[in-house]
């Protein structure tokens, strides 16, 4: 068995980070709609989280922000003329579309793709499928540019297979790794991949949108060549309480599955299927958080499960990197205190400040795409996106010089802002040695 690392590719928060209120079913996005954001602080917070994890001995990568505003989207909607004319006309007649074209939502890279490490796949390559994100317009525009980024970063065809997004139809609705968990004995060992879906293809549901279909999950498992898979249905109760992705109510790492009592439609069946698939590979360690200790509303408000669950060098138990909001909410804080003082698989909690992203429904786990990679795979990917302290300093320097510290959705009407965003991104790409994406 080869040794492998979990490399977290965080999304670098873009200069147009704003509270657009674009995501129905995501309570933070709706509740903070129209507020003034601080893109500079947002990006610095994200980069500090990456720095903190490097300090703990983790391998840390980054994905650049996508080009915003997306003029192609505005042109598809019939706007034409100079860039400034397009922005001005869209601001007057289609302000919601303009917000979509400006959305910095690619920062939530848990939604960028679904990833299967080479230890799990038939052809022994690491497979990535870009998510089509077809449910929300502002996210549905991401996939072509995301695929371009992944192709540049995972450019070696002998080791990596980058698949484009599934067809853009509600039956194939796919939100990537946010609805996918990989469990294993150690990162380099064969794993069991859990795909969580909210509805079947063709099924219409009442209430908040279910953004992942079983057909999408099955299609990805087939094209990645996976043998050990489990498909589980997310509970309707969780979706209606605001868990628009499964990673809002569960997170897994190695042999441990940390989840809320209401995460799955059928918890026993989900755990039994995982155990069956894991037979001979590892003993599943479920850590279920009962609703009586942490009501689902608290779990979602505090984002307890939207945490990174990490095997850190030198630690014999897993570490949960949770948002500050988990510490500030009574029930989740005391659950965490009690959990780490016991002798279960999770031994420590670190609280990270990602408040700017949290106000749009994105916690520490949303901000990262986990890519389990062997040493050879790490050496073969684009090196410019693998971070050290110095590169983080350089990125922060660009952010301090080029990002605004105040942005209201109405500011998007200013044509000058489009130039600012473009220049900021060009500078970031230069630091990452990814000018080809400009
Ligand atoms: O898709 N928020 C994102 C948050 C994604 C979180 N990702 C995971 N849970 N993995 C979403 O709902 C808000 C944008 C706005 O309203 O401006 C937004 O898109």
Catalytic-residue membership of 336: no
Could you tell me the pLDDT band of residue 205, with boundaries at 50, 70 and 90?
confident
Could you tell me the pLDDT band of residue 298, with boundaries at 50, 70 and 90?
very high
Cβ-contact 112, 396 below 8 angstroms: no
Please write the tens of the pLDDT for every residue from 152-172.
Answer: 999 999 999 999 999 999 999
- pLDDT > 80? residue 46: yes
Could you tell me the pLDDT band of residue 1, with boundaries at 50, 70 and 90?
low
Question: What is the rounded (10 degree) CA torsion for 135, 25, 209, 267?
Answer: 120
Instruction: Determine the average pLDDT of the residues in 270-279.
Output: 98
Q: Does an H or E element contain 323, and which?
A: strand 318-323
Please write the tens of the pLDDT for every residue from 103-121.
Answer: 999 999 999 999 999 999 9
- Report the nearest-CA residue for atom 5 of ligand 1: 362
Could you tell me the pLDDT band of residue 368, with boundaries at 50, 70 and 90?
very high
- pLDDT > 70? residue 218: yes
Q: Give me the helix-helix angle, 39-55 and 389-402, nearest 10°.
A: 170
Alpha-carbon span 22 to 94, nearest angstrom: 14
pTM, entire model: 0.98
Residue ranges at the known binding site: 20-29, 111, 138-139, 211, 247, 360
- Report the nearest-CA residue for atom 6 of ligand 1: 362
Report percent pLDDT > 90 for the chain.
Answer: 99
272 φ/ψ angles, rounded to the nearest 5 degrees: -65, -40
- pLDDT > 90? residue 66: yes
Q: Does an H or E element contain 53, and which?
A: helix 39-55
Q: How far is the CA of 26 from the centre of ligand 1 (A)?
A: 7
Alpha-carbon span 437 to 426, nearest angstrom: 9
Residue 361, ligand 1, Cβ within 6 A:
yes
Instruction: Determine the average pLDDT of the residues in 182-203.
Output: 97
Residue 307, ligand 1, Cβ within 6 A:
no
- pLDDT > 90? residue 2: no
**Number of the ligand 1 atom closest to the C-alpha atom of 365:** 10
* Strand duo 368-374 + 4-11: pairing: antiparallel
- Report the nearest-CA residue for atom 11 of ligand 1: 23
Q: How far is the CA of 106 from the centre of ligand 1 (A)?
A: 9
Instruction: Determine the average pLDDT of the residues in 397-410.
Output: 97
Spans of all domains in the chain: 4-68+103-437
Q: What is the CATH number of domain 4-68+103-437?
A: 3.75.10.20
- pLDDT > 80? residue 258: yes
**Number of the ligand 1 atom closest to the C-alpha atom of 362:** 6
Catalytic-residue membership of 175: yes
Q: How far is the CA of 332 from the centre of ligand 1 (A)?
A: 22
Residue ranges at the known binding site for substrate: 20-29, 111, 138-139, 211, 247, 360
> Cis peptide before 409, with omega less than 30 degrees from 0?
no
- By C-alpha distance, which of 256, 174, 247, 178 is closest to 217? 174
Alpha-carbon span 352 to 46, nearest angstrom: 9
**Number of the ligand 1 atom closest to the C-alpha atom of 247:** 9
Catalytic-residue membership of 184: no
DSSP E strands, 64-125 = 113-116
DSSP 3-state assignment of 34? coil
Residue 277, ligand 1, Cβ within 6 A:
no
Q: How far is the CA of 351 from the centre of ligand 1 (A)?
A: 21
């Amino acid at each position: 068995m080869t040794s492998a690392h979990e490399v977290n590719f965080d999304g670098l928060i873009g200069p147009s980070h704003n509270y657009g209120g674009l995501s129905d079913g995501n309570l933070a996005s709706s509740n903070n709609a129209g507020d003034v954001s601080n893109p500079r602080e947002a990006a610095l917070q994200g980069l500090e989280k990456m720095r903190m994890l490097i300090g703990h001995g983790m391998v840390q990568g980054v994905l650049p922000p996508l080009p915003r505003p997306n003029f192609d989207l505005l042109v598809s909607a019939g706007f034409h003329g100079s860039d400034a004319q397009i922005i001005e006309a869209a601001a007057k007649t289609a302000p919601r579309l303009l917000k979509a074209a400006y959305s910095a939502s690619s920062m939530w890279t848990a939604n960028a793709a679904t990833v299967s490490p080479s230890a799990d796949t038939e052809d022994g390559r690491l497979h990535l499928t870009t998510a089509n994100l077809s449910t929300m317009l502002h996210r549905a525009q991401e996939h072509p540019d995301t695929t371009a980024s992944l192709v540049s970063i995972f450019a070696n065809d002998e080791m990596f297979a980058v698949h484009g997004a599934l067809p853009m139809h509600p039956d194939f609705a796919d939100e990537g790794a946010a609805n996918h968990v990989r469990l294993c004995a150690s990162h380099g060992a064969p794993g069991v991949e859990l795909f969580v879906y909210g509805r079947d293809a063709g099924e219409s549901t009442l209430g908040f949108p279910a953004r992942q279909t079983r057909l999408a999950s099955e299609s990805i498992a087939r094209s990645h060549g996976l043998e050990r898979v489990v498909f589980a249905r997310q509970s309707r109760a969780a979706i209606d309480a605001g868990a628009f992705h499964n990673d809002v109510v569960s997170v897994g790492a190695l042999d441990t599955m940390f989840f809320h009592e209401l995460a799955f439609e059928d918890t026993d069946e989900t755990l039994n299927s995982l155990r069956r698939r894991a037979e001979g590979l590892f003993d599943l360690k479920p850590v279920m958080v009962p609703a009586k200790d942490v009501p689902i509303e608290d779990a979602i408000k505090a984002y307890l499960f939207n945490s990174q669950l990490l095997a850190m060098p030198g630690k014999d138990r897993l570490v949960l990197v949770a948002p500050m909001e988990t510490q500030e909410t009574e029930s989740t804080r005391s659950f965490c205190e009690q959990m780490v003082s016991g002798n279960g698989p999770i031994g420590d909690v670190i609280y990270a400040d990602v408040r700017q992203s949290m106000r749009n429904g994105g916690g520490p786990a949303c901000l990262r795409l986990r890519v389990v990679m062997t040493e050879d795979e790490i050496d073969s990917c684009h090196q410019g996106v693998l971070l050290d302290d110095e590169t983080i300093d350089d990125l922060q320097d660009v952010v301090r010089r080029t990002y605004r510290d105040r942005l209201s959705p109405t500011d998007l009407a200013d044509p000058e802002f489009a130039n600012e965003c473009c220049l900021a991104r060009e500078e970031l790409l230069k630091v990452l040695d990814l000018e080809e994406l400009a």
